[in-house]
Chain A
Amino acid sequence: MNNSNTALELLKSLGIDIGHVFPEDVAKIQVHQNKVVGLHLVPGLRVQADEMKDGIEAEVLIEKGMKIEKPIHICFGVLPEEGLQKVKLHIRAQEESKAMILAHCTFPNARQVKHIMDADIEIEPHAHYAYFERHVHGPKGGVDVIPNAKIHVQEGAEFSTEFELIKGAAGNIEFQYEVNAEAQSKTEMTARISGTNNDQIRLHEIVHLLGEYSTGVIVSHIALKQYAIADIENTLVAHAPFSRGHVDCKEIVVGNAQAKAVPTVLVKNPTAHVTHEAAIGSVDAKQLVTLMAHGLNEDEATDLIIEGLLSKKQNWQNMIKEIE
């Protein structure tokens, strides 16, 4: 299969119309296993990608002062049932730049696929960097997804990331993100994951609020059915004066699934303020009977409540519409 056809197959597996043509002003990077099968850049964006034996290593640079208006589309995928994909990303958003990345990761036929991502992300002063990652897995659940990222959010910069896996079987996810946030920076990290069958989901997210007036929010919304297991550790450490943070962990557990959440908030300065909320358990009874009093049966009502819990944040929706 040539690169062009592979790229189309990747898009098709995501439910994106393969007749759809990306506009010229939309940057795209498409990677199948260890091959770059599609690349289109726009002014202000520089990408150097090297193919390795079992993956790729890429440097991504958003140039100083450049505002890339349209979301950059990145697609990683493994189409066969088995495969290994290692991705090493070095991302730098230079001073006062702005970019949004919409990343799709697709493993539609996976029985034994491993996707390992190591990223270091540097967001320079007053740069804005947003990263939405949507995973689409097949029904068999044979995927190990192991993303690790270290992020440095410099003074006045903004970093937001949202990880979505609500379609297909999650498989095994081990997620480790660590953020160091400098003065007056903003960090927002959201994960929305649906687990079923024997899926195993582990999230470890840590945000260090190192600079004055830095803010950080960590949100994890997980829905588990059948025998899925989730272990969520979200840690927010407020080191600096007037830093503010919030941790929100909500998990719905249905059937024989199990959930554990450990939200840790640590304040090391008397003027810092961090809050947390955690709710784990079955579907809220009042929500359930309200929907049943509208004529939905219990399964339909449960699915609607879970859909609400796992729904996209508003500010991503327009971005996704542009791409899809």
Chain B
Amino acid sequence: MDNIILTIDDLNLSVQNKKILRGIKMEIWAGHIHALIGPNGAGKSTLVSTVMGLPGYKPEQGKICFLGEDITNLPVFDRAQRGLTLAWQEPARFEGLSVEKFILTGAKNKCHKRAEEVLEMVGLDPHKYLNRAVDKTLSGGERKRIELASIIAMEPKLILLDEPDSGIDIDALEKIFSLLKKLKQDGITIVAITHSLAVLNQADHAFLMCCGKILDKGDVNRIASYFQNKCIPCNHDRFITSTIETAP
């Protein structure tokens, strides 16, 4: 039986007195790719921010366990040092910080060669990029791939990806999808927020989220089909008693 690397139990979070996460319960399987889909405003980004422990995202109720350890009250960097990390939908810029230095910031192996390797993995030429600054001279897509490279260099156990394909051109998308497969082969667990069928097709499992709740989980095709055909703005009470299929 596959191992569970992350469990979320009865997670509740409000932001400015507005309930955003309502009793979230999830299990994430080690070495699998999980897709998290749902309409805009469902709470997907809030959920991953809460799992990562970002400031301003402290749950008022519930528990997050990573590798069997309760990390609910741990700060961000402690979670990162334990092997949990996050790639942003829109990565930050860092004036004056070279791509190489940024990539090696959290890297397990802090050598130049490793920086070259991970850049190549995301489809960027190290000779062109390593000495550049992670600033506004890079396109959004370039910064996204560089951030992905920096995350791979960390050799994490679980990566939270916020829309990994947004801003990436078509040529590079294939590279990203191959990368996701490779990461899985290397035993790294992925949770990817996505609106994209192409990313969904890479996943082993899917979660459907709406109005701060996990409405369904399990088979990717079934959930994708439901989302495409039937997911409409709704009253969350309709789903309170939905039967939830257990994960394989």
- Tell me, yes or no, whether A binds B: yes
With A285-B55, A289-B76, A290-B88 in contact, is A295–B97 under 8 Å at CB?
no
A289 and B54: CB pair below 8 A? yes
Contacts of B95 in A (CB 8 A): 250, 308-309
Is A21 close to B, CB under 8 A? no
Q: Which of B97, B150, B154 contacts A308 (CB 8 A)?
A: B97
- Which residue of chain B is the closest to A289 with respect to CB atoms? B54
With A287-B92, A287-B94 in contact, is A295–B55 under 8 Å at CB?
no
Instruction: Determine chain B's interface SS by DSSP, over half rule.
Output: mixed
Within 8 A of B (CB), among A266-324: 284-287, 289-298, 301, 304-305, 307-311, 314
The CA-CA distance from A287 to B85 in the complex, in Å, is 15
- Which residue of chain A is the closest to B54 with respect to CB atoms? A289
B96 and A294: CB pair below 8 A? no
User: Distance (Å) between the CB of A95 and the closest chain B CB?
Assistant: 35
Q: Which of B54, B55, B93, B150 contacts A294 (CB 8 A)?
A: B150
Q: Which of A291, A297, A310 contacts B105 (CB 8 A)?
A: A291
Q: Which of B93, B106, B131 contacts A295 (CB 8 A)?
A: B106
A293 and B85: CB pair below 8 A? yes
With A304-B97, A304-B105, A311-B97 in contact, is A292–B92 under 8 Å at CB?
no
Contacts of B150 in A (CB 8 A): 294
Contacts of B52 in A (CB 8 A): 293
Contacts of A289 in B (CB 8 A): 54-55, 76
Residue-wise interface mask of B (149-191) relative to A, using a CB-CB cutoff of 8 A (1 in contact, 0 not)? 0110010000000000000000000000000000000000000
Q: Which of B80, B131, B133, B151 contacts A292 (CB 8 A)?
A: B80
B80 and A293: CB pair below 8 A? yes
Contacts of A287 in B (CB 8 A): 92-94
Contacts of A293 in B (CB 8 A): 52, 54, 76-77, 80, 85-86
B75 and A292: CB pair below 8 A? yes
B94 and A308: CB pair below 8 A? yes
A307 and B96: CB pair below 8 A? yes
Residue-wise interface mask of B (114-154) relative to A, using a CB-CB cutoff of 8 A (1 in contact, 0 not)? 00000000000000000101000000000000010011001
Interface residues in A, total, Cβ within 8 A: 24
The CA-CA distance from A314 to B96 in the complex, in Å, is 9
With A289-B76, A304-B97, A311-B97 in contact, is A296–B92 under 8 Å at CB?
no
User: Distance (Å) between the CB of A297 and the closest chain B CB?
Assistant: 5
Interface residues in B, total, Cβ within 8 A: 26
Contacts of A301 in B (CB 8 A): 77
- Which residue of chain A is the closest to B132 with respect to CB atoms? A314
Contacts of B55 in A (CB 8 A): 285, 289
User: Distance (Å) between the CB of A194 and the closest chain B CB?
Assistant: 13
The CA-CA distance from A289 to B154 in the complex, in Å, is 16
Contacts of B218 in A (CB 8 A): none
Contacts of B62 in A (CB 8 A): none
Contacts of A284 in B (CB 8 A): 92
The CA-CA distance from A295 to B106 in the complex, in Å, is 6
A296 and B105: CB pair below 8 A? yes
The CA-CA distance from A151 to B89 in the complex, in Å, is 47
The CA-CA distance from A297 to B80 in the complex, in Å, is 10
Within 8 A of B (CB), among A105-164: none
Most chain A CB atoms below 10 A, which of B54, B88, B94: B94
B96 and A311: CB pair below 8 A? yes
Contacts of A294 in B (CB 8 A): 80, 85, 105-106, 150-151, 154
Is B81 close to A, CB under 8 A? yes
User: Distance (Å) between the CB of A186 and the closest chain B CB?
Assistant: 20
In the A-B complex, the 9 residue pairs with the smallest Cβ-Cβ separation, listed nearest first, are A294-B106, A308-B96, A311-B96, A308-B97, A295-B106, A295-B80, A292-B76, A286-B92, A292-B77
Interface residues of B, Cβ cutoff 8 Å to A: 52, 54-55, 75-77, 80-81, 85-86, 88, 91-97, 105-106, 131, 133, 147, 150-151, 154
Q: A287-B94, A291-B105 are in contact. List 19 more A-B contacts (CB 8 A).
A: A284-B92, A285-B55, A289-B76, A290-B88, A293-B54, A293-B77, A293-B80, A294-B85, A294-B105, A294-B154, A295-B77, A295-B106, A296-B106, A298-B77, A304-B105, A308-B95, A308-B97, A308-B133, A309-B96
